């Protein structure tokens, strides 16, 4: 009898002792390593410090204009051989028919997203009903601006002057007093021109 009482009391004593955390059972909470989120937060993020004018070197753009280097509607491609130079070639349709152009531009300013632009170049007009001759045009962009975004999109506008260097006969009169077999010749005549465009820098 005494032995039975001893066993019962010993069992009760053991059951009453609290189990330490981590020893198993309901109170056991396994320890885990760093969470995925904490690990990701510990990785340093390296952001590009390149500015829009330093990141891209070649672009394509759609142009709308009036007597511009690429006419009324055209497509231009641009390349930056240096930080203050932009070389542009283009093709379009204008008042003198199909036009091919080349222009060298100078860029001014140091803002992150925009530059002031001036340019000079030549274009070739293939001729049409209004301009029966092929014409070589001199095009001057005297005041312009180009605005870039960090994602590579850009917008530009420019205004200036143009004249014909060769060819240049036009039949459609620019005035109402046309008494010659052809109404005039644009060689030596100076007229205003302008254009604007939107494009994307490729690389």
Q: Give 110-143 pLDDT, tens digit per residue.
A: 777 889 999 999 999 999 888 888 999 999 999 9
62 & 37 share domain: no
- Judge if 79 and 153 occupy the same domain: yes
pLDDT tens-digit profile of 26-49?
555 555 555 555 555 555 544 445
Counting beta carbons within 10 angstroms of the beta carbon of residue 101, is it exposed (0 to 12), middle (13 to 18) or buried (19 or more)? buried
CA distance 30 to 21: 10
Q: Where does the pLDDT of residue 192 fall: very low under 50, low under 70, confident under 90, or very high at 90 and above? A: very high
User: Do 144 and 112 belong together in one domain?
Assistant: yes
Asked if residue 49 belongs to a domain, the reply is no
Predicted pLDDT of residue 28: 53
Residue 165 or 150, more confident: 165
The verdict on 28 and 66 lying in the same domain is: no
Residue 146 belongs to domain with CATH number: 2.40.160.20
**What local confidence, expressed as pLDDT, does residue 35 receive?**
53
Which region among 34-38, 72-76, 94-98, 163-167 has the lowest average model confidence (pLDDT)? Answer: 34-38
128 inside domain: yes
Give the residue, 152 or 197, on which the prediction is more confident: 197
pLDDT of residue 88: 97
Residue 160 pLDDT: 98
Quick check: 176 and 200 in contact, CB under 8 A? no
**Could you tell me if 124 and 29 lie in one domain?**
no
Q: What is the mean pLDDT of the chain?
A: 79
| 22 within some domain | yes
| pLDDT at 173 > cutoff 50 | yes
Verify that 88 and 17 share a domain, yes or no: no
Would you state the pLDDT for residue 43? 53
Based on the fold, state whether residues 68 and 156 are members of the same structural domain. yes
Q: How confident is the model at residue 14 (pLDDT cuts 50, 70, 90)?
A: very low
d(Cα 38, Cα 46) in Å, to the nearest integer? 18
| Inside any domain, residue 161 | yes
Is there a single domain that holds both residue 36 and residue 75? no
pTM over 0.75: no
Note whether 116 and 28 are same-domain residues: no
Higher pLDDT: 183 or 196? It is 196
Residues 95 and 37 in one domain: no
Looking at the fold, whether 85 and 8 belong to one and the same domain comes out as: no
Residue 108 has pLDDT above 70, yes or no: yes
Domain total for the chain? 2
Taking a C-beta distance cutoff of 8 angstroms, is the pair 168, 135 a contact?
Answer: yes
- Of residues 2 and 130, more confidence is placed in 130
Q: Judge whether 15 lies within some domain.
A: yes
pLDDT over threshold 90, residue 178: no
| 189 found inside a domain | yes
Task: Residue 25: give the domain boundaries.
Answer: 2-41
| Among candidate residues 57, 55, 36, the one with its CA nearest the CA of residue 47 | 55
pLDDT at 180: 60
Helix (H) or strand (E) holding 13: helix 2-16
pLDDT at residue 47, rounded to an integer:
47
Same domain as 166, residue 139: yes
Q: Is residue 120 part of a domain?
A: yes
């Amino acid at each position: 009898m005494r032995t039975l009482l001893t066993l019962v009391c010993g069992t009760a004593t053991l059951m009453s002792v609290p189990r330490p955390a981590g020893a198993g059972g309901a109170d056991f909470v396994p320890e885990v390593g760093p969470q995925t989120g904490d690990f990701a937060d510990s990785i340093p993020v390296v952001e590009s410090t390149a500015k829009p004018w330093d990141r891209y070197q070649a672009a394509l753009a759609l142009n709308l204009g009036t007597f511009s280097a690429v006419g009324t509607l055209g497509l231009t491609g641009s390349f930056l051989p240096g930080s203050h130079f932009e070389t542009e070639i283009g093709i379009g349709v204008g008042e003198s028919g199909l036009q091919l152009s080349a222009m060298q531009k100078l860029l001014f300013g140091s803002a992150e997203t925009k530059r002031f632009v001036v340019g000079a170049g030549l274009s070739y007009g293939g001729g049409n009903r209004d301009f029966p001759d092929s014409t070589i045009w001199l095009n001057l962009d005297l005041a312009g601006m180009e605005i870039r975004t960090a994602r590579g999109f850009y917008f530009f506008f420019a205004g200036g002057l143009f004249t014909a260097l060769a060819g240049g006969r036009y039949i459609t009169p620019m005035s109402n007093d046309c008494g010659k077999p052809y109404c005039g010749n644009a060689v030596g005549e100076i007229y205003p021109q302008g254009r604007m465009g939107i494009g994307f820098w490729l690389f």
